[in-house]
Every structure is written in structure tokens, then in C-alpha cells.
Structure 1
Amino acid sequence: MPVLALNISLSQKATPIADSLEHARERTEAVTKQIRSSVTSLTPRENIYNLPNLLTLSRLIAAPVTAYLLVHDQYTWALALFAYAGITDLVDGWLARRWKQQTVAGSVIDPGADKALMIILTVTLAVKGAIPMYLATLILGRDASLALAAIYYRYASLPAPKTFMRYWDFTLPSAEVHPTTVSKYNTFLQLMLIGSTLALPVVTGSSHGISVLQGADLHQAMTYFQWLVAGTTAWSGLSYAFLKDAVTILGSDEELKAKQGARGRAIIGVTFGSLVAAAVWYAVNSDDEETKEPAF
């Protein structure tokens, strides 16, 4: 009997301990599930440190250096650095696709590097009188309107919390840009125009070699080429105002994404449309572009 009573007493004491352990186990499982749920709901990050993005960054740095060389009449070096930028523009995209290192950040920085090069050289060449002001207005106006839209797209589509640090953290994807077909051709034509303009002093071997544009045939050919680039630039910019699939906003709220897309396209349509009208008026009413002597 004493042994039986002792066993009953021990079993009675073990029951609360077992209940406590079971309760602790259940709470641990609940906390673990909550932590896992929180982790999976965090905004995913990308690995942006790869060779394609490094080449893109080097092309971004090359833009102001090329302009500096151009201002100081170092046309051969400016042309060489411009050629490097063009080559890396092809190589980094090919590497990203081949090595499967395409990132949302790269889709933003890559066209940004192209535009930085185009903007800086356009300003420099326009100041020197190498390209007409109406064309510079279109090129710069297109990029300015797209930049305004990009600022809006980034802020509107950034997952909460919308802080300054998170805004500039490109490992947090929010919207992805898909260049339109005409934009790709336009970029190529713009680069060809800038490249040919830079090459003229080098080809002629004179710091004033670009004055060869005043020759009847070549001058007329370059004028036609400038008109072509002006047309594709206007078409390219306005295409972002009408095509809904040019920018993909990430997220699950389709109604909100539709509103954000419409607002972004409206920004481009109003700002760039006004600049196209201003450039046309300037080209029609200006009589200086055909006779202006380039400054270099």
C-alpha cells in the first residue's frame, strides 16, 4: 500500500509539469509561425553587386568625364570614352541575360546611365553650337519629363514605410521600366548623332573640323539626320504617355496600380507635350539654326 500511494502521488505531481511543458511547446510553435509569417511578408531584396551593374556604373561616371574632355577640346579622348560607353551599354545587358543577373535596380540604372551621357553631351554640344537648340530642347525635355514621372512612380509604388532611406534603397524594387520599341531605336539614333558630331573634329584632324558641316551636302545630310532624331525623340517620349505596359508597378492592389500608372502617364503627357509644342515653335520661327557657326 505505501508503494501504491507513492506512485499515485508522483503521477499527480507529474501531471501539472506535463501540462506546463505542453503549453510551453504550443506557445513556442505559435511564436515560430508568427516569426516565419513576418519574415515572408518582408519586402524582398536583390543582389545588385554584380559585373553588369558595375559596368553600368562605370558608364554613368564616364558621362561627365567625356563632357570635361570635350570642353577642353580633347576630341579624340572624348570620342574614345564615348565609344567605351556605347560598348559597355551592349556588354552589360548581354552579360546580365547570359549570367541571369538581371535586376530591377539594373533596369532603372542602365537607362539612367544612357540618359546621363546623352543629357550632359547634349548640353555641351548645344552650348558649343554643334546641334540646334530645338533638338536639344526635345532631348532634354523628354528626359526631364520621364525623370519627373520616375520620381512619382518610385514614391507612389514604394512599399510602406515610405522613408527617405528606403526611397533611395534600390534593393527594394517597386516599379520596373520597359523601354518602348521606338525608344530603343531613338536611343540608338541619338547616340549615332552625338557620336558623328564628336567624330567630325577627329576625322578632319582640326579643332575647327566640325565647320565642315557648312559644306552643302554634308550639312544637308546632318540637318536631315537631326530632323529624324527630333521626330523619334518626340514619338519616343509621347509613347510613355500612351502605352500602359511601359512601366510595371509592383504590388497586389490592381486598382491602385492602375491609378498610379494613369497619373504617371499624365505627368509625361502634359510636361513633354508642352515641350514638343515649344520645340516646334522654336524650329519654325528661328532663322539662326541654318547659318549658325559651330563654336568648335
Structure 2
Amino acid sequence: MVVPFAPGGSNDIVGRIIADAAGQALGQPIVVENRAGAGGVIGAEYVAHAAPDGYTLLINSSHSTIPAIVARVPYQTVEDFVGVAVAGFSPYVVVVNPQLPADTAQKLVALLRANPGRYNLATAGKGSGVHLGGELFRSTFKVEVEVVHYRGGGPSVAALVSGEAEVGTPTMASAIGQVRGGGLRALAVMAEQRTAALPNVPSATEAGLPGLIHEEFFPILAPTGTPAPVVAALGTAFRGAIQQSAEKLIELAGVAPRAGFETPEQVMNLVREGAERYTAILRAAGIQPE
């Protein structure tokens, strides 16, 4: 199972949580391989061109965001893949380095507006969901920050903790440990409601960031052409693993499984709708793919 980001990010964490249980169901181990680069494009391209035999899969929460931000994607986001399962959903989080003089989201916006271009915003790579979250934040609240792309969620969170970057919109999974431990200050979850994983962190609406709603989901995909019985067997194994790991996913990653994605068509419809939604949001904000 290819994770197209560096270790320590949300896809890596979620993938490793469910890989063991799915491997037990399939009767053979699942190796999680990190193929980082280009905001998830390199790993996704590798899987798109892999043999469609069921032995190479992709987990990529940025799969739907990449076409909204990257101009030349070397594969077809929907046509080159078939859906296996969806591991769950999780909101992104607005965080800052604790040394930054902003303890609320509104104070952060005021600080950035008063100091255009002074502070760095860390992303998990160009085209990643973290990048899209940062662009939404910048365009919605008209702030100027220097966007710095890292090779995954883990490295971007490390940069925030060290102070190399001051502001970020990381995934819940990659940031939750540092938020709980005090390494990062969370100002809002990018959702309408609070999340059980970080119950003391206000929602975007409560924090005075209306409209800053951004949620990642984790599709598990196989290359197009994978035989239907193989996809069905993989789907059964992974859905069982996700259900079996539900408490661990919520506790360790802030990722909540949902029903309704039992068929390949349902999974790919989610991917397609996500790509359309993210593209529309960014174009409305005047952001074009690069």
C-alpha cells in the first residue's frame, strides 16, 4: 500500500493502523511504502501505472485536491483508479507555533494582516490537502503569508514545532499528538462542529472563521483494470479492518469512519465530487493551478 507522503503524516498513520488488520483478513502481510514527492503526485502516478493485479494499492487523502492545484497531473484522477474503501474523514486544523503572539484565530488573522509576508505557512506539499487548506485560509481572510512546501505532513508539522514555520493547516492525524502535547497551539478545527478528538478546540464557526470548512477523507484505490472479484475481496478486507480499527483511528488520528462507501462506484463518486468541489472553491477565490 503506497503512501505518497513522508512518514508521520495522516496517510502514513491511517494506512499503518488499518494495514495490519486488513493483512490478517487477506492472509498475507501488507507492506506500507512511502513514495513521497510533488504533494502526492509521485506515489499516485506509481500506483496508476502499476500492474492491475490487486497487489499495489494507494491511500491518498490529497487525491481529490491535486487536480485543483496542480496544472499537469500525469494520470487521470478518476479514470485511472478503482475504489476499494474509504478509511474515514477528518477536519484540518488551524495551528500556530506556541511562540507566535496569537492565542485565538481572530488574533492570528489580525497579526498576519499587520505583517504581510513576514510569516511562513507550512504545507505537506504542493497539491496536498494541507496546501489547499492554507490557500483557503489565505484567500478567505485576505492575509499574506509565505507558503513553504514540505515533503509530507510529518515534515511540515516538524517545521511548525521547531519554529521554521509559524502557521499551518495540517491534518488532524499529523498534528494531534503535538497539539495534545503542547508542541503546537490549535486555534480552530476547520469544521462546523467541534471534534471529539480535540474537544477543547473551537470549530471554525466558533473561532470567528466562518466558511473555513475543509475536511480530508482517505480513499483506498487500486489501478483501473484490477479484476472485479479482486477489488471485491480487497474491499471486504479493508472495510472490516476499518471497522475493527475505528476506536484507534479516532483516538490516534482523529479520523472517523463512515458508512456508505461499500462499492467501487461509491468510493470513486466521492473522489470525483471532492475534485469538483475543491476546484470550484479555489477558482472562486481566484487561485489557478500551477
TM superposition score normalised by structure 1: 0.29
Q: Larger Rg: 1 or 2?
A: 1
Q: Which has the higher strand share?
A: 2
Q: Which has the higher helix share?
A: 1
Of structures 1 and 2, the one with the larger relative CO (CA 8 A, separation 6+) is 2
